Chains A and B, each alone.
Chain A
Amino acid sequence: MAIFNLTVNGKKTKVDVEPDMPLLWVVRDFVGLKGTKFGCGMAQCGACTVHIDGQPTRSCQMPISSIDKKAKITTIEGIGEMQLHAVQKAWIEEQVPQCGYCQSGQIMSAVALLKANPSPSDQDIDTAMSGNLCRCGTYDRIRKGIHRASDMMKAG
């Protein structure tokens, strides 16, 4: 076991875990933020997507020891703390989720996409979002949701 200092959603926190424990389990079971989900354990489904310094990252394949102690980790709970993020609002408007289990990861990928590319085309969306699986089949609404969020962000 070893002590790791983390900054999660702007809050400093300390965990005492095995160095090879993936960030996913640290965040869920030690920091107590359950919004980030386990889907495959091998970075194939994207349900565990979080941001590390703004970059979408599959947390199930990220050992805690490999994370820079100054890194800023953001989870689904951290993107709209004061008020909902435009992507979350757009997801509600388009009624994107069915079961919703993959949507934390979808939203984290979408937020990062819009930051890098405020006006993505369908093709840009497909490229950026193809690491996130949805078994309920909400893909068409995810595209609509991202376009809507893009419009909302541009309108301020």
Chain B
Amino acid sequence: MKNIDTSRRNFLKTTSLTGVGLMIGFNSFGKDKTPKKLSQVGNAVLDLEINPFIIISTDGTISLINPRPDMGQGSTQAAPSLIAEELEVSLAQVKLIQSDGQSKYGSQQSGGSSTVRGLWTSLRKAGAAAKEMMIEVAAKRWNVSISECYAQEGKILLKNSTKSFSYGELVDDASKLTVPKNPKLKDPKDFKILGKYNKRLDVPDRVTGKAVFGIDIEVPNMVYASILHSPTIHAKVVSIDDTEAKKVAGVLQVLKAERQMPHRTSETVAVIATNFWAAQKGRKALKVTWDNGDLSKMNTDTYFASTYDAAKKEGIRYEEKGDFNAKFVNAKQKLEANYETPFLAHAPIEPECAVVHQKEDGTVEVWAHVQGPDGALGDVARYFGVSKDKVKINVPLLGGSFGRKAYHDYLNEACFLAKILKKPVKMLWTREDDIAQGPYRPGMLSAMQGFVDNGKITGYHHHAIGESIVGQVFKGLAPDESDPWLSGEISTENSKYEFPVAKVSWTNVKTDIPIVWWRSVYASNMGWGQECFIDELAQLAGKDPLEARLALIQDVRYRKVLETLAEKANWKEKLPTGQAKGLAVFASFGSISACCMTVSKNGNGIKIDKVVSVLDCGYYVNPDHVKAQTEGNIVMGITAAIKGGITFTNGVCDQSNFHNYNVMRIKEAPKMEIHIIDSGANPGGVGEPGLPPIAPALGNAIFAATGKRIRKLPFDIDNLG
């Protein structure tokens, strides 16, 4: 995981400090000063790689490389759109190739809502450089100045004439040029693709069953594997009785295997068969004795009890303005409240799987739905003890991920088997593996304190408590350090709340339950405490929740988001008794998002009548992607508030499949409306920022409608207690 480790940590750390406009450090564009001739017959160039992202062939084929795997967020369209805009080609006329992890493509991790904001300048420069080279060649051939030439639809045209050259006709001469270092980028007002509604060109394949996902990969002579994991996740195998398993028709072999997580390796038992059904049946027939060590003490109840204990103590300070403790003691109007968020499984609808083959010559080929082919390349090379040039990574589509498939335990499991079997093996998890084996979003506690004075919120303390992703996954957290991924998210620098007195602190409560990033990472936990508590303080101050927020925020973009939300959701509208609105705002991954929920009393519970979300993500590629992602965040955010919740009793996960790990179904999905603010700011994230305000907007609406303040997620929407 080292590749992901450094890039993601640095990236998020920096993001949370700088807010928007972050460029992920990758400068592969222009690394090669001269274009690379990929194939040559005699002196004629057939395929020219102008820079790693563009290949133009003499037959006219234009291929663009998408450096970010697609898990549904639309990167197969978004990333190439950045190149196509400047190269002056339409996406319909190009061939798309998914990058394979090689370092020349830079960071290829789909994560941290980084695709568009991370590639905004570099991929446009890649396209612009290629276009300038084509213009230079055409100008020379026509013996005119470059200002008389322009690019359109994959051709260079001569102004005031009918003359034109296709890019394919210019490639041979272009191969002799130096790639311009600082090509001129288009003025956003001239954009033809970026910022415009475009249908995703891969949707037809996704509605006809033709789209190829990780689970669909088949290679000749492939065997199938199903792996039995210990119910306590981490364990050693004491004994295996495979008598019955081996009787299952199609079962070829049973072997002790391993699951390597970044922080821990566990023993497992794998059943190899001629088909997956046989492998699964064989696995069910296994009798395995496990040594679970002391993991029977792994309980979510004891974990949360420890977090509540920690809430009574002082944490590690991340930020402090004024002497909060002294002022809090003396404050006349003050509040304290603890907000709890559960562990959650990602439960991507396509379970984890991978196909791995180590060939006779020692080289390794992988077909796996990973979020980052570059990280996978490093992990696979390390696993087999071979250099990266001996590994080929193929990335099919991801059937959902939400962070899960950037954690390569399942890929490592397939590598382990491929190393022994010496033939291609397809390892597929069941839903039970996915739900009961983790890793999970960590359950967290937000211990909130605050005070008001003269109708104003004047003091605020957010004490975040729980297991650390940086600490557990990367073993990268010093004992006196607050988790850098989290502290930035809850800092006043990020919230823009200008409290006269403020404190942000952190306490690490450890657990053996494996954890990892989940859609919007800690923001998904922390938005709940922050935004519900602001409403509690507003009430104490006797202020309207919107007015109380606007009184604390001067930042122009944040104010605009809130004001737009108030207008679009008709915040001031008079509603009948039993119906009310609640709102929340949270910034993450370089974008600002706010949500307003309208709810109605429904027996002892409530129902959600409408959700309005507003997002300022700066420049974006496709407004429909932005809307779709925000719709997804609304559904996932409500699900995280009222469904699911992973619990462990005596070391074992209490949930196993969708019958007891509930997720939202269509009948529960509310009507929703998304508004995008065209701020013209640097691009921010889109895949995640819509999620953090959802749960608190719901909690605040429920309080407004019923007077019941909910502080623990998940809760039963049909019975508020």
* Chain A residues with a Cβ under 8 A of chain B: 1, 17-18, 20-22, 25, 29-30, 33-42, 44-45, 47, 75-77, 80, 84, 88, 91-92, 95-104, 107, 125-127, 129-130, 132-143
Which B residues between 66 and 98 are near A, CB-CB below 8 angstroms? Answer: 70-74
Which B residues between 336 and 367 are near A, CB-CB below 8 angstroms? Answer: 347-351
Q: Does B312 contact A (CB under 8 A)?
A: no
* Chain B residues with a Cβ under 8 A of chain A: 70-74, 199-200, 203-213, 215-216, 218, 249-250, 275-278, 281, 347-351, 397-402, 428, 430-431, 624, 628-629, 631-636, 657-659, 663-667, 669, 671-672
CB distance from B395 to the nearest CB of A (A): 14
Contacts of A45 in B (CB 8 A): 349, 431, 658
Are the CB atoms of B208 and A99 closer together than 8 Å?
A: no
Contacts of B350 in A (CB 8 A): 37, 39, 99, 101
Are the CB atoms of B631 and A141 closer together than 8 Å?
A: yes
Are the CB atoms of B399 and A99 closer together than 8 Å?
A: yes
Mostly, the B contact residues are loop
Residue on A nearest B274 in the bound complex, by CB: A29
CB distance from B209 to the nearest CB of A (A): 2
CB distance from B212 to the nearest CB of A (A): 7
CB distance from B509 to the nearest CB of A (A): 29
Are the CB atoms of A88 and B347 closer together than 8 Å?
A: no
Residue on B nearest A24 in the bound complex, by CB: B277
CB distance from B465 to the nearest CB of A (A): 28
What number of residue pairs across chains A and B have CB atoms under 8 A from each other? 178
Are the CB atoms of B349 and A101 closer together than 8 Å?
A: yes
CB distance from A48 to the nearest CB of B (A): 11
Are the CB atoms of B275 and A29 closer together than 8 Å?
A: yes
Are the CB atoms of A99 and B204 closer together than 8 Å?
A: no
Q: Which of these, B74, B208, B399, B634, contacts A101 with CB under 8 Å?
A: B399
The CA of A21 and the CA of B276, in the complex, are separated in Å by 10
Given A18-B250, A134-B635, A137-B634; 14 other pairs, CB 8 A cutoff:
A18-B277, A35-B208, A37-B213, A80-B208, A84-B204, A84-B207, A96-B207, A97-B72, A98-B73, A99-B70, A100-B399, A137-B632, A138-B628, A140-B631
The CA of A143 and the CA of B199, in the complex, are separated in Å by 19
Contacts of A102 in B (CB 8 A): 349, 399
Are the CB atoms of B348 and A135 closer together than 8 Å?
A: yes
Are the CB atoms of A101 and B207 closer together than 8 Å?
A: no
Are the CB atoms of B635 and A99 closer together than 8 Å?
A: no
Are the CB atoms of B249 and A139 closer together than 8 Å?
A: no
Are the CB atoms of B632 and A98 closer together than 8 Å?
A: yes
Residue on B nearest A93 in the bound complex, by CB: B199
Are the CB atoms of B669 and A139 closer together than 8 Å?
A: yes
CB distance from B625 to the nearest CB of A (A): 9
Are the CB atoms of A88 and B659 closer together than 8 Å?
A: no
Contacts of B398 in A (CB 8 A): 99
The CA of A49 and the CA of B215, in the complex, are separated in Å by 17
CB distance from A100 to the nearest CB of B (A): 3
The CA of A57 and the CA of B277, in the complex, are separated in Å by 19
Contacts of A130 in B (CB 8 A): 665-667
CB distance from B686 to the nearest CB of A (A): 12
Residue on B nearest A137 in the bound complex, by CB: B635
Contacts of A39 in B (CB 8 A): 349-351, 431
Are the CB atoms of B663 and A135 closer together than 8 Å?
A: yes
The CA of A47 and the CA of B663, in the complex, are separated in Å by 14
